[in-house]
Amino acid sequence: MMQSIHNRELVAFHGGNFPIRGTYHRASNEQAGVQKPGRLGVIFLNSLSLPRTATGDSSAEWADALAECGYPCFRVDLPGLGDSEGDLPADLLSYINGGGFAPAASSVAKEITERFDLAGVVLVGHCAGAVSAVLAAAKASECKGLILMDVYFHLPQAVRPKFRQYLSNWALKSAPGRMASNLYDRLRRLRLRVQANRLPENANLPLLRCWKQVASSGQPILMLKAPARKAIGTKARVGEFDYLQYALKTAGPQSQVIVKFAEGTDHSFANRLGRAAVRQEMGSWLEAFFPAACPAGKGTVSPISGSPVRARPSKEVVVMTSSST
């Protein structure tokens, strides 16, 4: 069996008892034999239990596009996920939220930096993968930037009681259910105000501490947000604690956090609009903060060949950079 085709190569990293499997997308300048010093790699982490290709193979497409623009990209399967061996706890979500994958992710970041002679890496995570990315970034000095897609800072219930599931379905599917849901939202908003907007009990405090540590250090961070049910733009749903605003406040004056809202997509970012938006935003952000990696004449991430879809202009909701603060 061959280990590489076109710009892709199968790679393995040290992962304790078993190797961590991954796919390396060689940068276009590397293939041409031109390697600029100080270049950065981009590592894509698994989203929850998905294999390293992600929904609709979107991660593979993004990695191809960024590699074309000069950034070596790595999609890895963390231990027990995808093609990597390893035991997983039955409650995977709690394991991830508790930082279960952070040691492996930071160890991979270190190994990739050394093995591929990089100046550092940018970690990319989606949903639960974004949680692992923040927790790993706090441990790995090799991590120079973060791209977080629909990151969350609370501890969701892994398995909701049957009655709650039934109630949610009723609220979604019927008109009286929707009215009851709106009323419930307003009551929750009232409660939030009474509690003076303090952090909810299910806040992931260790994660918020890591976030503060990483963001306040001035590390560039791109946060991408997809439309969510009953939420407008990046604002939280009525009655829900606005973790994003909280995270931005705690990031401090040195932070370089950019939040972008990707319209027309869903939580997976895997439809054509979502893919195009992510590709465009990641490319522009990398060029702005880590331009050394871009080869001459390849300043922008081009749309995938044959694809007529271009991203809708994302709404830049919050920009916190050292220059603007």
Q: Does 93 bind another protein (CB under 8 A)?
A: yes
Binding to another protein (CB under 8 A): which residues in 288-307? 306
Find the distance separating the first CA and the last CA of the chain, reported in whole Å: 54
CB of 139 to another protein, least distance (A): 21
Does residue 89 interact with another protein by CB under 8 A? yes
Please give the residues from 180 up to 219 whose contact with another protein meets the rule CB under 8 A: none
Among 29, 181, 234, 268, binds another protein (CB under 8 A): 268
Q: For residue 226, which amino acid is it?
A: A
Alpha carbons 202 and 229: distance in angstroms, whole number: 20
Regarding 263 and contact with another protein (CB under 8 A), the answer is no
Pick from 163, 194, 229, 296: which binds another protein (CB under 8 A)? 229
The verdict on 57 binding another protein (CB under 8 A) reads yes
- Shortest Cβ 163–another protein spacing (Å): 16
Min dist CB 53 to another protein, Å, is 5
User: Taking CB under 8 A as the rule, which mask of x and - marks residues 99-138 in contact with another protein?
Assistant: ----------------------------xx----------
127 or 320: CB nearest another protein: 127
Cβ distance 187 to 112 under 8 Å?
no
**By C-alpha distance, which of 320, 295, 221 is closest to 67?**
295
Query: Can you tell me which of 50, 149, 258, 286 binds another protein, judged by CB under 8 A?
Result: 50
Distance CA 325, CA 319 (A): 9
9-36 CB burial, b ≥16 within 10 A, e <16: eebebebeeebbbbbbbbbbbbeeeeeb
Q: What is the spatial distance between Cα 111 and Cα 93, in angstroms, rounded to a whole number?
A: 26
Q: Nearer to another protein by C-beta: 86 or 218?
A: 86
Identify the residue whose tokens are 């907007």: 197
Judged by CB under 8 A, which stretch of 25-33, 134-142, 216-224, 262-270 contacts another protein? 262-270
Q: Which is nearer to another protein, 70 or 82 (CB)?
A: 82
Stretch that binds another protein, among 26-34, 81-89, 110-118, 214-222 (CB under 8 A): 81-89
| Contact status: 1 vs another protein (CB under 8 A) | yes
Q: Which residues contact 298 (CB under 8 A, 6 or more apart)?
A: 28, 29, 68, 69, 70
Neighbouring C-alpha atoms within 13 Å toward the C-beta of 33: 0
10 Å CB burial of residue 94 (0-12, 13-18, 19+) is middle
What's the alpha-carbon Rg for the chain, to the nearest Å? Answer: 20
Q: Cβ(101)–Cβ(78) under 8 Å?
A: yes
Q: Mark residues 6-45: x for contact with another protein by CB under 8 A, - for none.
A: x-x-x----------x-x----------------------
Instruction: Give residues in contact with another protein (CB under 8 A).
Output: 1-6, 8, 10, 21, 23, 48-51, 53-58, 60, 80-83, 85, 87-95, 127-128, 158-159, 169, 172-173, 229, 266-268, 270-272, 275, 306
